[in-house]
């Protein structure tokens, strides 16, 4: 068996080919991972509102149908907003992808085992909610394939990552600043 | 009984305000508005599994340059509390249209506790609250709320009182209505 994927390397790989994709990150380590790959105005980091990342992504994807939107979040954050998978599945948004970094634990709060350690398969949940393409990724070859797929179409992916925390890379946490610079980057007047 | 006109007036106000996304949970009081939104090509109606999804949806819409409204019942306000940290922190607009249950001729006691808490919960979470009791004031109030939300970047709720909407009539099998 190959070595478990490193979360920072996973996110760096996925974002290396992002082009003009808009990125929303779920609170906790996913936000630090996205920041570590390089702070951009087109990144919207959640520092709270747990369970909201996927739905922020949907509102954004519907508002910007010509841009690819990528939500990167953790298993715990996705579990808290799991109903959103049904809402997004029903919406059939064609420019919204979600990548769940699954370490099977709540890393931010002491690494207690999450539901995905006890049998919940979020890719199966997404498929059951009508997502047309879902996949699980557990190795480097799968990751490379996922990065390529994300450039061409919307999908839901669970990436199995190694447990353990990384040094925190903290992006700005002032929400009004993050929102205004995001809108400015999209050339929206009155940011 | 003739259908009230205020739901169509509210819909006209939402179009005027350039609302492009309508998040909703099933609700009899908003049924007319939901049907109009679903049939309107300039709007995207999004059915939600829980109200807090709509707060996140509206935030994402604004990030992408679009305006959203969230249609819900008073019973759903409690579901939204932590998610209201999004507009509070991000200074992004939020427009909530909330039909009240549990306050006027209510048959179902399970609706009453959340009805009692609705206004205080919204205010405590930083939402400005208007309350419409009469059909004649609804459209004007929604227009003002939309202006306050989108021009001043505030979270604003309009409560549609149960007296305005009419209490839901429950009839058990075999019982006379």
User: Is A170 an 8 Å CB contact of chain B?
Assistant: no
Domain presence at residue A109: yes
Residue A95 structure tokens: 């420019």
Mean pLDDT, chain B, rounded, equals 94
Residue range A177-185: mean pLDDT, rounded: 97
**pLDDT for A141 beyond 90:** yes
Burial label, A113 (beta-carbon count in 10 A; 0-12, 13-18, 19+) = exposed
The pLDDT tens digits of the residues spanning A87-99 come to: 999 998 999 999 9
**pLDDT for B120 beyond 80:** yes
Domain presence at residue A191: no
**pLDDT for B41 beyond 60:** yes
Report the alpha-carbon distance of residue A183 to residue B45 in Å, rounded. Answer: 23
Using a CB-CB distance cutoff of 8 angstroms, which residues of chain A are in contact with residue B66?
Answer: 59, 62-63
Residue range A15-31: mean pLDDT, rounded: 96
Enclosing domain of residue A111: 7-186
Provide the 3-class DSSP secondary structure of residue A129. Answer: coil
Enclosing domain of residue B74: 6-165
pLDDT of residue B172: 75
Provide the 3-class DSSP secondary structure of residue A50. Answer: coil
Which of A24, A50, A52, A59 to mutate: most B Cβ within 10 Å? A59
User: Is B119 an 8 Å CB contact of chain A?
Assistant: no
Looking at the partner chain, which of B53, B66, B91 has a beta carbon nearest the beta carbon of A55?
A: B53
pLDDT range class, residue A191, cuts 50, 70, 90: low
Q: What is the β-pairing status of strands A96-102 and A69-74?
A: parallel
CB contacts < 8 A (A, B): 122
pLDDT of residue B176: 58
pLDDT of residue A182: 98
**pLDDT for A2 beyond 70:** no
Number of folded domains that form chain B: 1
Q: What pTM, to 2 d.p., does this model score?
A: 0.96
Report the alpha-carbon distance of residue B89 to residue B95 in Å, rounded. Answer: 16
pLDDT of residue B3: 80
User: Which pairs with CB-CB distance under 8 Å and at least 24 residues apart come from A117-124?
Assistant: A120/A79, A121/A158, A122/A75, A122/A78, A122/A79, A122/A82, A122/A85, A122/A156, A122/A158, A123/A156, A123/A157, A123/A158
- Cβ count within 10 A of residue A52: 30
Least confident span in A105-109, B50-54, B142-146: A105-109
pLDDT of residue B1: 55
Residue tagged 């059939």 (tokens): A92
pLDDT of residue B173: 74
pLDDT of residue B149: 98
pLDDT of residue A67: 97
CATH code where residue A131 lies: 3.40.50.970
Report the alpha-carbon distance of residue A180 to residue B156 in Å, rounded. Answer: 20
Domain presence at residue B174: no
Residue range B46-73: mean pLDDT, rounded: 98
* B68:A179 CB<8 A: no
**pLDDT for A133 beyond 60:** yes
Q: Which of A58, A63, A174 lies closest to B53 in space, CA to CA?
A: A58
Q: Percentage of chain B with pLDDT > 70?
A: 94
* A63:B85 CB<8 A: no
Angle at which helices A29-36 and A7-16 cross, to 10°: 50
Domain presence at residue B161: yes
**pLDDT for B9 beyond 70:** yes
Residue range B101-106: mean pLDDT, rounded: 93
Task: List beta partners, residue B158.
Answer: B97, B130
**pLDDT for A1 beyond 60:** no
Torsion over CA: A62, A63, A67, A70 (sign): negative
Report the alpha-carbon distance of residue A129 to residue A84 in Å, rounded. Answer: 9
CATH code where residue B73 lies: 3.40.50.970
Number of folded domains that form chain A: 1
Least confident span in A8-22, B133-147, B160-174: B160-174
Residues 130-159 of A with CB under 8 A from B: none
Residue range A98-126: mean pLDDT, rounded: 93
Residue range B35-39: mean pLDDT, rounded: 97
pLDDT range class, residue B4, cuts 50, 70, 90: confident
Report the alpha-carbon distance of residue B21 to residue A100 in Å, rounded. Answer: 26
Domain presence at residue A1: no
**pLDDT for A134 beyond 60:** yes
* B53:A87 CB<8 A: yes
The rounded Cα A20 to chain-centroid distance in angstroms is: 16
* A84:B85 CB<8 A: no
Residue range B99-104: mean pLDDT, rounded: 95
Least confident span in A1-10, A42-51, B17-26, B73-82: A1-10
Domain presence at residue A83: yes
Report the alpha-carbon distance of residue A27 to residue A49 in Å, rounded. Answer: 8
User: Is B70 an 8 Å CB contact of chain A?
Assistant: no
pLDDT of residue A188: 84
Pick the residue from chain B with its C-alpha nearest to A43. B63
């Amino acid at each position: 068996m190959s070595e478990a994927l490193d979360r920072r390397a996973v996110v760096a790989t996925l974002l290396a080919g992002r082009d003009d994709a808009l990125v929303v990150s779920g609170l906790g380590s996913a936000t630090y991972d996205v920041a570590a790959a390089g702070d951009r105005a087109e990144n919207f980091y959640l520092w709270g509102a747990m369970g909201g990342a996927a739905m922020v992504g949907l509102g954004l994807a519907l508002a910007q149908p010509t841009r690819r939107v990528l939500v990167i979040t953790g298993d715990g954050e996705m579990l808290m907003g799991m109903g959103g998978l049904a809402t997004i599945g029903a919406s059939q948004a064609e420019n919204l992808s979600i990548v769940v970094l699954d370490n099977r634990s709540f890393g931010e709060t002491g690494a207690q085992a999450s539901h995905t350690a006890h049998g919940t398969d979020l890719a199966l949940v997404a498929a059951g909610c009508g997502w047309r393409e879902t996949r699980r990724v557990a190795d480097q070859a799968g990751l490379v394939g996922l990065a390529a797929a994300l450039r061409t179409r919307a999908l839901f992916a669970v990436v199995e990552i190694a447990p353990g925390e990384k040094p925190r890379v903290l992006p700005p946490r002032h929400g009004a600043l993050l929102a205004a610079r995001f809108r400015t980057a999209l050339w929206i007047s009155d940011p | 009984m003739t259908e009230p006109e205020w739901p169509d007036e509210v819909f006209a106000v939402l179009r005027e305000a350039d609302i492009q996304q309508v998040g909703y949970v099933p609700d009899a009081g908003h049924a007319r508005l939901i049907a109009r939104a679903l049939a309107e090509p300039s709007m995207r109606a999004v059915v939600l599994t829980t109200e807090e999804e709509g707060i996140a949806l509206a935030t994402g819409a604004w990030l992408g340059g679009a305006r959203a409204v969230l249609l819900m019942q008073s019973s759903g306000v409690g579901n939204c509390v932590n998610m209201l940290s999004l507009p509070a922190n991000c200074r992004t607009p939020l427009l909530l249209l909330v039909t009240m249950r549990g306050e006027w001729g209510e048959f179902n006691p399970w609706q009453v506790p959340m009805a009692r808490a609705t206004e205080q919960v919204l205010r405590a979470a930083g939402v400005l609250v208007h309350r419409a009791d009469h059909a004649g004031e609804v459209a004007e109030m929604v227009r003002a709320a939309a202006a306050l939300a989108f021009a001043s970047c505030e979270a604003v709720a309009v409560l549609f009182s149960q007296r305005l909407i009419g209490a839901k009539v429950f009839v058990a099998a075999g019982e006379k209505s």
